[in-house]
Amino acid sequence: MLDIWDYLGNTNKNIIIYGMGNGADKIIHELERLHITFHGITASDDFVRGQTFHGFTVKKISEFDKNNSVILTAFGSQRDDVIKHILSLSKEYTILSPDVPVYGDNIFNRQFYESHKNELQKVHDILADDFSKKVIENEIKFKLTGKINYLTEIFTDKDEIFKILDLSENESYLDLGAYRGDTIQEFLHYTNGHYRHITALEPDNKTYKKLKDYAGNFPNTQLWNMGIWDCDGYVNFENATGRGSSVKTSGSQRLAVTKIDTLFKRQSVSYIKTDVEGAELQALKGGIETLMRDKPKLNLALYHRSEDIFTLPLLVHEINPHYQLYLRQHPHIPAWDLNLYGIHNS
């Protein structure tokens, strides 16, 4: 099976990188590892000011030959106007979106797929509805080919899945990776502003202050400036301000961490959301007792690491096989905002 990297290694078209951030660095690193030459850098017109990136002067996309260029998107966005712009460009240019992980070194390429297709098939088999099965099928096709149409075919808004989750006005909510409070706000939207208890963790200091400004005076709410892990203690942490902050062995700070099981040793939880920048597996491992005892509804980010798409669903299924598991891809290019939702079938 050919993948995007095989295609890029054999194409006669000029390879152009669209973007100048960390995603572009990762794509360029993989191209260089594979000895694939790229030929230029482009950016949205508003960002083109004659700057250079990786030795190339950044040009407007209109300066590249439509018939002799492959444009590789190297940034992520959930904004409707940005997605529409990329889709509009794809009518004129060959545009692909390489899948490089937010964290970790594993690229979801042909070799990775062949090594893990049994696990991927197991996830497919345990998913609760036909649409979830289509989601994982299309996710695999997208990750292998970089063709954006595989993503757009499975975009769904959150109203659909939250009808399935059916949050009540008596939920005890655990928000892991609470950021500035956007997912607390989402939670309150779907519970009509009512709840039993909110516990929210945010490890980044500056972001935590904004979270506290938003939710610090909410009743029955606990906010913690710490991380989640599979043990209680301290880990190395890289403070990149906001969503880029993460646990790293080379991190310059020491971060206090705790387990889900510790947080809920003496109380119950009914709904858990995790978006913890690549630490989702450790979060689940530190919550096994809670998931077995309380059987909370689950909302797990599934896109930070290439292996998340199978390790996390299979771990939830192993912890408690009575969970009904749903996959949903909310609008985003590339395949970020892929979530696993779980409801216990009592």
Residue among 281, 271, 277, 343 nearest 309 (CA): 281
Check residues 253 and 240 and name the one with the higher pLDDT: 253
Which position has the token pair 């590789």? 72
Q: What average pLDDT does range 301-314 have in this prediction?
A: 98
Q: What average pLDDT does range 66-94 have in this prediction?
A: 96
pLDDT band at 32 (very low <50, low <70, confident <90, very high): very high
Does residue 242 register a pLDDT over 50? Answer: no
Task: Express each pLDDT in 256-305 by its tens digit.
Answer: 999 999 999 999 999 999 999 999 999 999 999 999 999 999 999 999 99
Q: What are phi and psi of 316, to 5 degrees?
A: -60, -45
Does residue 336 register a pLDDT over 90? Answer: yes
Specify the pLDDT at position 240: 62
Q: Any idea how long the chain is?
A: 346
Check residues 42 and 238 and name the one with the higher pLDDT: 42
Specify the pLDDT at position 346: 72
Are the CB atoms for 84 and 109 separated by under 8 Å? no
Q: Is the peptide bond before 334 cis (omega within 30 degrees of 0)?
A: yes
pTM passes above 0.85: yes
Task: Express each pLDDT in 161-201 by its tens digit.
Answer: 999 999 999 999 999 999 999 999 999 999 999 999 999 99
Residue among 88, 85, 112 nearest 30 (CA): 112
Q: What ranges make up the beta strands (E) of the chain? A: 14-18, 40-43, 52-53, 56-57, 59-60, 69-73, 94-96, 172-176, 197-201, 221-224, 227-228, 233-238, 246-247, 253-258, 271-274, 297-301, 323-329, 338-344
Return d(Cα 326, Cα 314) in angstroms, integer. 12
Does residue 249 register a pLDDT over 90? Answer: no
Task: Express each pLDDT in 12-21 by its tens digit.
Answer: 999 999 999 9
Proportion of the chain above pLDDT 90, given as a percent: 92
Specify the range with the lowest mean pLDDT, choosing from 149-163, 242-256, 270-284.
242-256
Q: What ranges make up the beta strands (E) of 76-178? A: 94-96, 172-176
Specify the pLDDT at position 237: 76
Q: Average pLDDT of the chain?
A: 95
pLDDT band at 2 (very low <50, low <70, confident <90, very high): confident
Does residue 319 register a pLDDT over 60? Answer: yes
